[in-house]
Chain A
Amino acid sequence: MNTILTVFKKELIDTLRDRRTLITAIIMPAVAIPFLMYGMTFMMKTIMAKEEAKKLKLALLDAPSDFMSSIDTSKIMLVDGMTMETGRDGILSDSLDAMIAFIGDFAQQQTDLKTTKVNMWYKSTNMTVKSRMTDIVEAYEKTLLDGRIEKLDMSASTIDPLDLTRYDIAPKKEFLGKTAGGFLPYMFIIFCFMGCMYPALDLVTGEKERGTIETLLTVPASRFKILMGKVMTISIMGLAAAIMGIVGMVVGVKLLPDMPEDMFEVLNNIVSTKFVLMLLLMLIPLCVFFGGILSAMVIRARSFKEAQSIVSPFTFIIILPAAMAMIPGIDMSWKTALVPILNIALATKEIIAGTMDSGMYIAIVLSLVVLAVIAVLFSHNQFSKEGMVLK
């Protein structure tokens, strides 16, 4: 154990003095979540406010005068002289935002209590146009409807036989766990992987490239113990990246200004001791797995560059199951509980939602421990081969 700790201590000091590792394992995870939380919220709010304040250019064809007078001209500019064709072209070329056409003899149809067809053209790429135009048309429709009810001397309930009231009793925590919860584990898994990657390249391939491995192998310590010291360092750096991600999230929730109330409430609920402990219990074996598998992969590389090209495709193998958890319909089951990485992502969602089955959780942690042991043994197998270790 002393040898493992000696190697671990030296590798940790060496790694913490490497600027590149510090950026990927400590600084980036710490600022990424606050940046995403604040940056994305700020960006969305700014864009929406800009869209809402934008004065839309609207063309009306055969519109009744009371409809035209109902339009707030401080927010909408009416464009005259358009036909169906020039209006469509105008929307496509962005010189016009929308066009509304009333089809047929509107006055006669309304007198006969018939339906008037109304066509609306817009581009869905202009975020708020559809909803703003729909609101105008629906408000006008309501005045027409009220007029008809009055004319026919009816009560409003005659044409409204059902009064539906919806009660969503899903706790906010569960709703967000199942929806937005997929994004957080994705971030943590990526942080762990990135945190492990650079130390693995430096402590394994770097040592081989510099030739220091040759002198290290002449000390009276077993290769297994030397490898263990390295894998421990790599895993700790991966875990440190995840912890920095959590710290960043907590700091972001507590300190960032102008956070929407809903988001603040949700994140505040997520950042609980139970959540953090349950997440870490899964991330520890995951980081050991990354440490083992990355060491085994990069030991065959003769240079840092070659090691990077070996590891890069593996990044996609990690991202794929992590991203799968965000797909609707992929839920926690005994089958998915045994799929590495996907199980962590799904379990994190369940933990956030407060619906995690304890038996399934234990099975996930145990399966990850087994996976970590296999990765370390595989790494030892590779590290024991003469041809692998020497340049």
Chain B
Amino acid sequence: MIKVDQVTKTYNLSKQQKKELQTTAPSINAVNNISFQCQPGRVFSLLGPNGAGKTTTLRMMSTILGPTSGDIEICGHSVKAEPQKVRSKIGFLTGSTNLYDRLNPSEIVEYFAKLHGMDKRFFEQRKDMLFTQLGVHEFSQKRIGQMSTGMKQKVSIARSMIHDPEVVIFDEPTSGLDVITANSIIDLIRRCKDEGKTVIFSSHIMSEVDLLCDDLAIIAKGDLIYNNTMENFRTENHNTSLTEAFINIVSEQTHSTTL
């Protein structure tokens, strides 16, 4: 379970950043006092336009960034007080395949398993299971630098799932991927849900959201502007498509902020 409680993330601005953003303010809030919860066995989708604060929120959940105020609890552990316990519970995957070019899939997965302190037997079982599910066995000794984007993404999935995390965080996991590779991610999200894991993912692709998500939240300019179940969202916007409904909600917020 993920519990986001009145979280704010403030960045102090350098002279150069103030110039670029054309502001005189000493700091900006990338995320502004947001609260929501993600339940086990359900898929939570975090939506918002570019620069809304989605990645910052996910990075705070994965302890890469610390909240300026408020707190996030992952499986009962605070990201502020017990970051290492939080990290042992999460699997983190982004759309850009972040892997080491000079290592092969087996070496990468083993490296992360060791960093998670996994037992060797459990690791071998998990590796075999994930490599079979994802079809990685056939290129498990090939170096990452010689692989296609699809192959890399499969290795990334195996890497992030090797320690069997209770909570899975996906930051635009299908961004820039072809249909077949994107489909493997969608399958993974479904499997995680079926296994009772807590899943949160950010995306710009509404068809994916429609297909997978049980709950959703919309962030714009750092503010949480919508949070409900997918069922309620569909009911509230039964005459419009998801994309249109999303645009309407974001536009209303932008309009009211401007006024």
Which residues of A are interface residues toward B (Cβ below 8 A)?
2-3, 6-7, 10, 13-14, 17-18, 210-212, 214-222, 386, 389-390
Contacts A6-B114, A10-B100, A211-B98 known; 15 new A-B pairs at CB < 8 A: A2-B117, A10-B103, A17-B102, A212-B98, A212-B100, A214-B92, A214-B98, A217-B64, A219-B87, A220-B116, A221-B84, A221-B87, A386-B66, A390-B59, A390-B65
Give the complex CA separation of A215 and B84 in angstroms: 14
In the complex, the answer to whether A10 meets B87 with C-beta atoms within 8 Å is: no
Q: Is the CB of A215 within 8 A of B159?
A: yes
Q: Are B98 and A13 within 8 A (Cβ)? A: no
B98 x A218 contact (CB < 8 A): no
Q: Considering only CB atoms, which chain B residue lies closest to A386 in the complex?
A: B65
User: Which of B63, B99, B111, B114 is A218 in contact with, Cβ under 8 Å?
Assistant: B63
Contacts of A220 in B (CB 8 A): 84-85, 87-88, 115-117
Residue in A closest to B86 when the chains form the complex, CB atoms = A220
- Residue of chain A at shortest CB distance from B102: A17
The reply on B208 being an interface residue by CB < 8 A is no
Q: Which of B88, B98, B107 contacts A210 (CB 8 A)?
A: B98
Q: Complex formed: what's the CA distance from A220 to B113 in Å?
A: 11
Checking B88, B94, B111 against A211 with a beta-carbon cut-off of 8 angstroms, the contacting residue is B94
Asked whether, in the complex, the Cβ of A13 is within 8 Å of the Cβ of B103, the reply is yes
Given A6-B111, A13-B103, A217 and B98 contact (CB-CB distance below 8 Å): no
Other-chain contact of B102, A2, A6, A18, A221 (Cβ < 8 Å)? A18
B99: contacting residue among A2, A17, A212, CB under 8 A? A212
Interface centre among A7, A14, A215, A218, by most chain B C-beta atoms within 10 angstroms, is: A218
Q: Number of residues in B with C-beta < 8 Å to the partner?
A: 29
Are A218 and B90 within 8 A (Cβ)?
yes
Cβ contact within 8 Å between A211 and B115: no
Q: Which of B43-95 contact A (CB under 8 A)?
A: 59, 62-66, 84-85, 87-88, 90, 92, 94
B96 within 8 A of A: yes
CB contact under 8 A between A222 and B84, given known A17-B102, A210-B98: yes
Q: How far is the CA of A354 from the CA of B112 in the complex (A)?
A: 50
B residues less than 8 Å from A10 (CB atoms): 100, 103, 107, 111
- Residues of A contacting B103 with CB < 8 Å? 10, 13-14, 17
Per DSSP, are chain A's interface residues mostly helix, strand or loop, or mixed?
A: helix
Counting from the closest, the 4 A-B pairs by CB-CB distance are A219-B115, A17-B102, A220-B88, A220-B87
Q: A-B pairs with CB below 8 Å: how many?
A: 72
**Given A14-B102, A220-B88, is A211 in contact with B65 using a C-beta cutoff of 8 Å?**
no
Contact status A219-B112, CB under 8 Å: yes
B115 contacts A3, CB within 8 Å?
yes
Closest to B108 in A: A10
Nearest residue (CB) in A for B93 is A215
B203 CB-CB contact with A under 8 Å: no
- In the bound complex, residues from chain A placing their C-beta under 8 Å from that of B160 are 215
A219 to B112 CA separation, bound complex (whole angstroms): 7
A-B contact pairs, 15 of them (CB 8 A): A2-B114, A10-B107, A10-B111, A14-B102, A14-B103, A17-B103, A18-B102, A210-B98, A210-B101, A211-B96, A214-B94, A215-B98, A215-B112, A216-B115, A221-B84
Q: Would A6 and B84 be within 8 Å (CB), given that A218-B62, A218-B92 are in contact?
A: no
Q: Is the CB of B100 within 8 A of A390?
A: no
Verify A14–B94 contact, CB threshold 8 A.
no
Contacts of B115 in A (CB 8 A): 3, 6-7, 216, 219-221
Q: Which residues of B contact A389 (CB under 8 A)?
A: 64
**Complexed CA–CA distance, A154 and B101 (Å):** 90
The reply to whether B87 and A390 contact each other, CB–CB distance below 8 Å, is no
The answer for the CA separation of A222 and B112 in the assembled complex, in Å, is 14
The 8 Å CB contact of B64, one of A7, A221, A390, is A390
A222 to B87, CA, bound (A): 10
Which residues of A are found within 8 Å of B117, using beta-carbon distances? 2, 220
Q: Is the CB of B87 within 8 A of A218?
A: yes
Contacts of B88 in A (CB 8 A): 220
Question: A217 and B63 in contact (CB under 8 A), knowing A17-B102, A18-B102?
Answer: yes
The smallest beta-carbon distance between A215 and chain B, in angstroms, is 5
Which residue of chain A has its CB nearest to the CB of B169?
A: A218
* Given A14-B103, A220-B117, residue A214 in contact with residue B84 (CB < 8 A): no
**A202 to chain B: closest residue by CB:** B102
Tell me the smallest distance from the CB of B74 to a CB of chain A, in Å.
Answer: 11
Q: How many Å lie between the Cα of A221 and that of B84 in the bound state?
A: 7
CB contacts (< 8 Å) of B101 on chain A: these are 210
